Structure 1
């Protein structure tokens, strides 16, 4: 472990709170709704930790910084939080932003437990400083590809915007489907208007269209265009990145937003802890909690367990990742080394392919489990 001597081993000894830095997208162009759910989970877990004695009698405290989906802003926040003396970092939803934060945390020797970002290459080189709860994109999106094949889809179109995250997802889908007789046609949304996507789908005889684009736009406009084109009545629309999970999706699209399968990282049934947390999150959010809120809760649950057993010294926290065994809201959490993944990884949280029920859009249907 390459520990910079100027920033290693920061531990408060004045009896004040133990602080965790929280990176969360709270303003545009970040996905604000995802950030709100992530923060709700983080905050609820902090409350529960403090209600049960805190960290060796000291309160746990979040120091929240808004990343606004900006990698440079996130890296600057990591620098600031390191100077403030936080014991560890938590959070982040956007993969490209999480990668910038993880790279900086690794350079500074600051433990970072990433809650919700899935990009495989969270760091360029293997590191002991970073661990992750969310499944790697290559794992989850292969499960989504298996769902497509099982549903009879062999000719898949992806409407994609330029992004490391979208390009990585498209590559996972293409490689996995090609080895099983499927094909993927990429539609460059820099060159196509949403209405033009319909002609491309017809011309390529695609039976499924996957949205690898931002929300609300152009995702909402693409969905509306496809739904209104009678030539495409049998075409399935999918959103593996999980846009339909959030209430904003249903508000934007109404009935058009149903029957669009996406990846969700929840078990089919929650255990007692998960059910209790779900009730508390629903009260806090005034709506059904997304899987992102559970990821936030589990992040603090893991860090609190490590802080209680290993103290707030940064190097000791990072050294503790391989020894974590924590009962989270979605299962027992352990970290391991996964081939091709440079960070300590929970392998794996539960993964479902779900959609909103057309007959009852506020209800989710489980279509496939990985």
Structure 2
């Protein structure tokens, strides 16, 4: 057998990372590698993933990048957490190592434009404006966000605040570093908020806030939202008394999968033992794009990076092409499909599509 073409894969596979997201991301990457190897590999060579757990730790991720670069991988793929992907992007720009980011949405993935990084998921500002429009069109003009200290949550808060202000709305920020979930409820009543968004970690403290709000009779009509997508994962399906249902969130899937997407969905479901999340499809599409690049352009790092503007690949969720988007320093797929969905209270394993964008 010829020596494999090795690519490094980064994912949060242990706490405090979102482990379910990491598991689905890795399942998508692995399923695509199987399909690539089943169709001749890369120029007759098998494709091999070299996986490293980032655990949502930027320093750990930087060390993994250095290790994988030293092992001679042709490129890096993956990552879910934006703060981690940002650290990875900065490091690969120094090392000259291509990085195809699967699932980290922070607009400012790099401080300066780079030729080494491309991204499949939509930028946070794009998806979260779709979410803001969903709330505004439903009549919500004065909302609250409960937050934890993070570049990602702060960026999301700015997107929401600016977009609401442009349409005469307001956003009040409630800091979970200084407020308990019950105190959050008091603040929501005081500010007369009609919706509260969970810009907080999964499953905690987000689920504790949900439990407190749902248990407070003063807030019976309050809408709870989670634009970052926490309710996508199985822990929310099994939350007590259906508390994880009817919480709108963002996911990046079309209203209907095409033939490729349907075949991949079946393979992902078999691998995961459950319905695949949008993160699993992002993982699959990442390897599909990279394999196409390496088959047509070769496996040298510089050649892979130079290929980003020429990508034209049929993905599971649509045709994938990269371009330069103003304000974003990496090559960007603009845009994957965006949905606002929630879990049906009558059947928490079923999603209801509330808006597309």
Q: TM-score, normalised by structure 2?
A: 0.99
Aligned pair partner of 2:148 in 161, 171, 176? 161
CA distance in 1, matches of 2:193, 2:332: 35
CA distance in 2, matches of 1:207, 1:262: 16
Is the 8 Å Cα contact of residues 40 and 285 (structure 1) preserved in structure 2?
yes
Aligned pair count?
A: 357
Which range moved further: 80-89 or 253-262? 253-262
CA distance in 2, matches of 1:161, 1:175: 19
1:269-348 matched pairs, under 5 angstroms: 269-348=256-335
Is the 8 Å Cα contact of residues 220 and 253 (structure 1) preserved in structure 2?
no
Counterpart residue number, 1:111: 98
Counterpart residue number, 2:38: 51
Counterpart residue number, 1:141: 128
Q: Does 1:213 align with 2:235?
A: no
Q: Does 1:73 align with 2:70?
A: no
Counterpart residue number, 1:9: none
Report the CA distance between 1:253 and its aligned residue.
4.1
CA distance in 2, matches of 1:288, 1:151: 29
CA distance in 2, matches of 1:222, 1:101: 31
Counterpart residue number, 2:138: 151
Report the CA distance between 1:15 and its aligned residue.
3.8
SS at match of 1:257: coil
Counterpart residue number, 2:221: 234
Report the CA distance between 1:254 and its aligned residue.
4.6
Q: Deviations over 1:99-132 (max 9, x none)?
A: 0011101110000000000000101000000000
Is the 8 Å Cα contact of residues 236 and 245 (structure 2) preserved in structure 1?
no
Counterpart residue number, 2:27: 40
Counterpart residue number, 2:174: 187
SS at match of 2:322: coil
Report the CA distance between 1:256 and its aligned residue.
0.8
CA distance in 2, matches of 1:91, 1:177: 32
Aligned pair partner of 2:337 in 350, 358, 362? 350
SS at match of 2:64: helix
CA distance in 1, matches of 2:348, 2:141: 27
Aligned pair partner of 1:248 in 216, 227, 235? 235
Counterpart residue number, 1:101: 88
Report the CA distance between 1:215 and its aligned residue.
1.2
Gaps of 5+ in 1: 1-13
Is the 8 Å Cα contact of residues 293 and 307 (structure 2) preserved in structure 1?
yes
Aligned pair partner of 2:5 in 11, 18, 24? 18
Is the 8 Å Cα contact of residues 17 and 59 (structure 1) preserved in structure 2?
yes
Aligned alpha-carbon RMSD (Å) = 0.8
Is the 8 Å Cα contact of residues 50 and 60 (structure 1) preserved in structure 2?
yes
Is the 8 Å Cα contact of residues 135 and 349 (structure 1) preserved in structure 2?
yes
CA distance in 2, matches of 1:20, 1:253: 41
CA distance in 2, matches of 1:75, 1:56: 30
CA distance in 2, matches of 1:81, 1:311: 19
CA distance in 1, matches of 2:241, 2:283: 28
